[in-house]
Copies of this chain bind each other. A is one copy, B any other.
Amino acid sequence: MNKNEKLRIVPLGGLGEVGKNMMAYEYGEHILVVDAGLMFPDNDMLGIDYIIPDFEYLLDKTSRISGIIITHGHEDHIGAVPHLLSQVSAPVYATPLTRGLIEVKLARNSLSGKADLRTVQAGEMIQVGPFQVELFHVCHSIPDSVGLGISTPAGLIVHSGDYKFDQTPVDNWPTDFAKLAEFSQRGVTVLLADSTNAERPGWTPSERVIDPALDEVFVNAPGRVIIATFASLISRMQQVANAAVHRKRKLAFVGMSMVDNAKIARTLGYLDVPNETLVSLEEALNLPVKEVALMCTGSQGEPSSIVGRLSTGTNRQFDIRAGDTVVLSSHPIPGNEETIFKTINRLFQRGATVIYDAISPIHVSGHASSEEQKLLLNLVRPKYFIPIHGELRHLKRHAALAGQVGIPQENILVVENGQVVELSEGKLSLAERVPGGYVFVEGQSIGEIGKDIIREREQLSRAGILIITATLDKYSNRLIKEPEIITRGFISPEDSEDLIPMVRRKVTDIVNSGLDSEKTITDAVKSLLHNETKRRPMIFVTVTKA
């Protein structure tokens, strides 16, 4: 070990936010990237499709990236892989299901065959430059999830990934306690662990608690059962399939992502649905309603999802009928509550019975709650602790929990994306800041839409717009014709009957009095509109002299 060399921990995503997780570990000339996820926009990020990590930091160091490890197949860990691989060529290591889901994603981005994907198994060890990485199994809401034990010349790092300590997981494969204990015996220098549920007291329930609730729905539903969840929640698919088999309903997966993911999970042996239970949507729609279960997306009320469309009566292949039971098997992601509740209300209005997590245990979290987080800390007994995966409030709370189990305050580092941390001679300290912000993806634009543009959109939406075009005779400086006025989002057609002529008169008066600057007109009209309506639309004036 070169005494001058340090381990650098570079958080590029997921610290200070929930989603788009991404971390880089650097030692000497080598960089190991862990995860590359996306996140969905907040309500105030108008028009944005999704957000990926800002990995500008890596772009002049791509030749030093020795490997990329993806801990599991959820969007917030794999969603930016196509973006990363379009700029970086390094081997991508993933367990079989995770690899399968990455392949589905690469195929949709026409990147199949261009990536160097390498299958690894939980329990294996891989060497990535100076990093000796042991992948250990963790329970999460998708099978085949792993955490990482990363041995470096600077010490042993444990990176939890998303995890929970489910003692009775659906796939009967609990988190690898023995490996965690072994790490502890070897001495862990830094633990980086999932903070998502740091605010939740106690212990996240086992996924098994869902089984009786689902079974009750399958028994009591007078008609079809329509279960909505995330397309990547493979273990929920298994639970629904089990209920369908048990209660003799046929099951159809509906929607491209749900169908694709179910197919890859079945092919790879992570989802067991008997052939005689699985039917196509078309077949399902022709069966007696009591014999049908449909599984689709839309548990967050997304307007373009199948449940979103069912709630507004705009789904193509089928509609909600009285007697349908719709199960929303997920917990609201913060910011989505309003949309979800509107969707629930609309489904009720259409005659469905709606079962959702506030009234029935049809969902449990895939993330450790605070008692589990304390257990991980006590199992691993790290010298240093860095909470990851969460908004600042989650990281702060996780840090407080670490304090409660005896990690000294000065050995806990709460940092946000872009704050580099260095481990040198057994001591962890803050280093420089690097870019770590949001990269907005919208249409073909990646990173070109910035906060300024979002702010302009917000201004446009606040009170609408009014566009004035005035054409003047270049000799007389008088209007050649009446000013043209267009409005959007400002005033109703009825009200505009009075107001627009007033605006036109005002513009005419100003121009004809010799004050024809666009600014003068804008200010005068702004004040007229505010006096008349107490509202402030954006005003755009074009004066042309012809």
Contacting chain B: which of A78-86, A218-226, A251-259, A480-488? A480-488
Q: Interface 1/0s, chain A 447-463, versus B by CB < 8 A?
A: 01110111011111111
**Chain A contact residues (Cβ within 8 angstroms of B): what range?**
35 or more
Q: State which of B199, B461, B484, B491 has its C-beta within 8 Å of the C-beta of A460.
A: B461
Kindly report which residue of chain B lies nearest to residue A452, judged by CB atoms: B492
Q: What residues of chain B lie closer than 8 Å to A443, measured between beta carbons?
A: 533-535
Q: Interface 1/0s, chain A 25-57, versus B by CB < 8 A?
A: 000000000000000001110110000000000
Check if A460 sits within 8 Å of B460, measured CB to CB. Answer: yes
Task: Determine whether A282 belongs to the interface, using a CB cutoff of 8 Å to chain B.
Answer: no
Q: What residues of chain B lie closer than 8 Å to A471, measured between beta carbons?
A: 471, 544, 546
| A 429-460 contacts with B by CB, 8 A | 442-445, 448-450, 452-454, 456-460
Contacting chain B: which of A183-191, A266-274, A340-348? A340-348
Check if A359 sits within 8 Å of B199, measured CB to CB. Answer: yes
Check if A534 sits within 8 Å of B445, measured CB to CB. Answer: yes
Bound form: Cα–Cα A396–B345 in Å: 9
Bound form: Cα–Cα A338–B336 in Å: 8
Q: What residues of chain B lie closer than 8 Å to A484, measured between beta carbons?
A: 542, 544
Check if A456 sits within 8 Å of B354, measured CB to CB. Answer: no
A445 to chain B, nearest CB (A): 6
Task: Determine whether A337 belongs to the interface, using a CB cutoff of 8 Å to chain B.
Answer: yes
Check if A459 sits within 8 Å of B444, measured CB to CB. Answer: no
A338 to chain B, nearest CB (A): 4
| A 339-372 contacts with B by CB, 8 A | 341-342, 344-345, 348-349, 354, 356, 358-359
Task: Determine whether A335 belongs to the interface, using a CB cutoff of 8 Å to chain B.
Answer: yes
Q: State which of B47, B356, B444 has its C-beta within 8 Å of the C-beta of A464.
A: B47
Q: What residues of chain B lie closer than 8 Å to A542, measured between beta carbons?
A: 467, 469, 484, 486, 542
Kindly report which residue of chain B lies nearest to residue A334, judged by CB atoms: B337
Bound form: Cα–Cα A514–B401 in Å: 73
Task: Determine whether A298 belongs to the interface, using a CB cutoff of 8 Å to chain B.
Answer: no
A285 to chain B, nearest CB (A): 26
Bound form: Cα–Cα A486–B42 in Å: 27
Task: Determine whether A391 belongs to the interface, using a CB cutoff of 8 Å to chain B.
Answer: yes
Q: What residues of chain B lie closer than 8 Å to A199, measured between beta carbons?
A: 358-359
Q: State which of B334, B342, B344 has its C-beta within 8 Å of the C-beta of A341.
A: B334
Bound form: Cα–Cα A491–B42 in Å: 20
The answer to whether A461 and B354 touch (CB under 8 A), given A199-B359, A489-B456, is no
Q: State which of B47, B393, B460, B534 has its C-beta within 8 Å of the C-beta of A457.
A: B460
Check if A546 sits within 8 Å of B47, measured CB to CB. Answer: no
Kindly report which residue of chain B lies nearest to residue A349, judged by CB atoms: B392
Q: State which of B46, B348, B397 has its C-beta within 8 Å of the C-beta of A396.
A: B348
Q: State which of B344, B449, B533, B538 has its C-beta within 8 Å of the C-beta of A393.
A: B344
Q: What residues of chain B lie closer than 8 Å to A177, measured between beta carbons?
A: none
The answer to whether A460 and B453 touch (CB under 8 A), given A534-B445, A544-B471, is no
Q: State which of B345, B393, B452 has its C-beta within 8 Å of the C-beta of A345.
A: B393
Q: What residues of chain B lie closer than 8 Å to A448, measured between beta carbons?
A: 491-492, 494-495
Bound form: Cα–Cα A495–B444 in Å: 13
- Which 4 A/B pairs are nearest by Cβ-Cβ distance? A443-B534, A546-B546, A461-B461, A335-B338
The contact sample of 9 A-B pairs, CB cut-off 8 A, is A345-B391, A348-B393, A444-B532, A445-B534, A452-B492, A453-B492, A459-B488, A480-B546, A484-B542
